[in-house]
Amino acid sequence: MKPAVLFVCLGNICRSPLAEAAFRHAAKEVGLDVGIDSAGIGDWHIGQPPDLRAQAVARRHGIEISGYRGRQVSAADFRLFTHIVALDHDNLAALKRLRPKDATAELSLLLDHVAGRAGAAVADPYYGGEQEFALTWAEVAMGAAALAERIAKTA
Ligand code: 4NP
């Protein structure tokens, strides 16, 4: 099965679209043929573009994400994706509750893939400002690069 990675946060408008963007870039860098998407635990932002502050930080790094649209994670995702990657512990706990019996996807936290950061969360920047979004970008970029390298080694 071709690898496919789904990034999941609470709203799918800040952290997981940034993780998706960073991973699209990282996968290209290592020549990885992989499916990539992101989704939210909640349903508030279905069909909406990413938060303008997330769009801005991605654009500062040369990546356009204004065309992304929010969606909610579904039971089918646990069979369609090989890897489901949560941004924080609440997201991971929610995914474990949603996971159907026939799930095949491997669940992890994004920062589990970064040496020395296993078990750490990417903090929610929603109530923060530019600095928080800059930190989010730095963390998702690190996680995305490490995950792309790991999957490239096993794919
Ligand atoms: P995200 O941030 O989970 O990184 O997309 C949030 C976006 C929206 C909300 C919470 C977190 N919200 O409560 O609407």
Mutate to test the pocket of ligand 1, among 7, 9, 90 (most ligand atoms within 8 A of CB): 9
Q: Ramachandran region of residue 105, left (φ > 0), alpha (ψ -120 to 50) or beta? A: beta
Please tell me the predicted confidence (pLDDT) of residue 114: 98
Spell out the per-residue pLDDT of the chain, length 155, in tens. Answer: 899 999 999 999 999 999 999 999 999 999 999 999 999 999 999 999 999 999 999 999 999 999 999 999 999 999 999 999 999 999 999 999 999 999 999 999 999 999 999 999 999 999 999 999 999 999 999 999 999 999 999 87
Task: Give the Cα separation of 80 and 82 in Å (integer).
Answer: 7
Range(s) of the domain holding residue 135? 4-150
- Return the sign of the alpha-carbon dihedral for residues 57, 63, 65, 66: positive
User: Is residue 124 flagged as an active site residue?
Assistant: yes
The number of C-alpha atoms within 13 Å of 124 and in the hemisphere containing its C-beta is 13
Judge if the beta carbon of residue 11 lies within 6 A of ligand 1. Answer: yes
User: Is residue 15 flagged as an active site residue?
Assistant: yes
Question: pTM value?
Answer: 0.98
Asked if 85 and 5 touch (Cβ cutoff 8 Å), the reply is yes
**Cβ-count burial 75-89 (b if 16+ within 10 Å, e if not):** eebbebbbbbbbbbe
Cα 77 to ligand 1 centre (Å): 20
What's the structural domain count of the chain? 1
Note whether residue 155 is domain-resident. no
Note whether residue 92 is domain-resident. yes
SS3 for 14?
coil
Please tell me the predicted confidence (pLDDT) of residue 1: 82
Closest C-alpha among 14, 91, 3 to residue 51: 14
Note whether residue 115 is domain-resident. yes
| CATH code of the domain covering residue 23 | 3.40.50.2300
Note whether residue 145 is domain-resident. yes
Note whether residue 105 is domain-resident. yes
Please tell me the predicted confidence (pLDDT) of residue 155: 72
Please tell me the predicted confidence (pLDDT) of residue 95: 98
Judge if the beta carbon of residue 70 lies within 6 A of ligand 1. Answer: no
Judge if the beta carbon of residue 77 lies within 6 A of ligand 1. Answer: no
Amino acid present at 42: G
